[in-house]
Structure 1
Amino acid sequence: MKNNVVKQSLKFVLVMTIITGFIYPLACTAIAQIIFPNKANGSIIYKNDKPVASELIGQEFTSDRYFWSRPSTTSPTPYNGGSSSGSNKTPAGKELEDMVQQRIKLIRELDPDNNQKIPVDFITASGSGLDPHISPAAALYQVDRISKVRNIDKDTLIRLIDKNTEKRQLGILGEPRVNVVKLNIDIDNL
């Protein structure tokens, strides 16, 4: 009786390992490759047939010629996919408040002519620390600076922001958002 139970248990483990470890993942991968191959392969953005970025992972832009992304909390470098995480700072804590105040000060120093209210997503990190998106308000906040530095008409920049604004999914999920990586690539292509 005991041997029978052990054999059945081992058979069950073997069958479930094959199903959940091989068949199911391969089926999911095959379906994803057929239905949405770009997304299944990381939503890679190509420029001159060379991969330059992913639509799904933000990049650090520090030049005043580019739209800046929201802060990243990954370490040791920003937008490090190997250490994705939020800051784990409590909204009620002094540490987060100090971090946000430092970001506000830095933005004001880097863009001293801008007296607009700084959008909150421009000074706070996303939950993953890798988000490639900012709000349309955060993008519009930067238009004057980029227009001046690159000598590009503000209306052209606003049209590019509109072009790169992703709407709510199904009309109700999420918020409108601008993919900074794609927006900056479009600006370079002008």
Structure 2
Amino acid sequence: MPTSVLRTALRHGWAGARMILVMTVILGIAYPLLMTGFAQVVVPHRADGSPVSRSGRDVGSSLIGQSFAGRPDYFQSRPSAAGDGYDPLASSASNLGPTSPELVKAVEERRAAASRLDGTDPAKVAPDALTASGSGLDPDISPAYADQQVGRVAAARHLDPGVVRRLVDASTTPRTLGFLGEPRVNVLMLNLALDRESSAG
């Protein structure tokens, strides 16, 4: 290889290496630090993951669902396919198609479990009790699924069903801007409201 060609190749290689180094510092270090600082100033609660505290202790996040399985006195969350369930490090759907025998089996198992737990006709079990969300971390359920659980939760807590239903209504968020998405109920916030109601009673 002629010396001039080698020098040109080395010069271009060194220019490329410097560009990688500069862009790594700018986009890999400076920009993330700048955005993190901006978020901490403008929206600190969201920047920290929207933690929810009770009695000075973090009990979850308003943005990430969690399991309340085995607790009939709490509203149950939507099923999760993220890792072992609600694992933010393994956020994903099951990626099973609508004709997948595995998905059909899982849906039927969830239908039977929800029907037994809530005393609901299997044909009337809310759809979000049967399928996991795309992220596997959905913190919300539909008002229909919440309504399905009112009787069971009220009985477990010895509360009037009307009181529990009012808590559901108070915890229901309408469509964003009045037309985006669907009304939803944040399960963690509703369960914390239930705890406060039970303590007050």
Q: TM-score, normalised by structure 1?
A: 0.91
CA contact (8 A) 2:175 2:183 kept: yes
Does the 8 Å contact 2:143/2:172 carry over to 1? yes
Deviations 1:67-91 (A, max 9, x none): 011111233x322223222111111
Please, which runs of 5 or more residues in structure 2 have no aligned partner?
Answer: 1-7
Cα displacement (A) at 1:170: 2.9
In the alignment, which residue of structure 2 is the partner of 1:18?
Answer: 25
Partner of 1:66: 74
CA distance in 1, matches of 2:146, 2:182: 14
Show CA shifts across 1:147-171 (max 9, x none).
Answer: 2221222222222212222222233
**RMSD across aligned positions (CA):** 1.6
Q: Which deviations, in whole Å up to 9, do the C-alpha atoms of 1:93-112 show, x marking residues without a partner?
A: 22211111111111222233
Code of the residue aligned with 1:4 in structure 2: it is: R
Alignment match, 2:172: 165
Q: Quick one: which of 130, 134, 138 aligns to 1:131?
A: 138
- Aligned 1:44-123 pairs, distance under 5 A: 44-62=51-69, 63-75=71-83, 77-112=84-119, 114-115=120-121, 117-123=124-130
Paired AA for residue 174 in structure 2: K
Contact 2:115/2:125, CA 8 A, preserved across alignment: no
Match of 1:146 in 2: 153
Match of 2:43 in 1: 36
Q: Hey, what's the Cα distance between the residues in 2 that align with 1:48 and 1:181?
A: 15
Contact 2:118–2:151 (CA under 8 A) maintained in structure 1: no
In structure 1, give the amino acid aligned to 2:176. Answer: Q
Moved over 4 A (4+): none
Paired with 2:18 and 2:89, the residues of 1 have a C-alpha distance of 37
Question: Are residues 1:189 and 2:196 paired?
Answer: yes
TM-score, normalised with respect to structure 2? 0.86
Q: What residue number does 2:5 align with?
A: none
Superposition deviation, residue 143 in structure 1: 0.8
Q: State how many pairs are aligned.
A: 188
Q: SS state of the match for residue 59, structure 2? A: strand
Tell me the distance in 2 between the aligned counterparts of 1:28 and 1:10.
26
Percent identity for Structure 1 against Structure 2: 43
Structure with the higher fraction of residues in helix conformation = 2
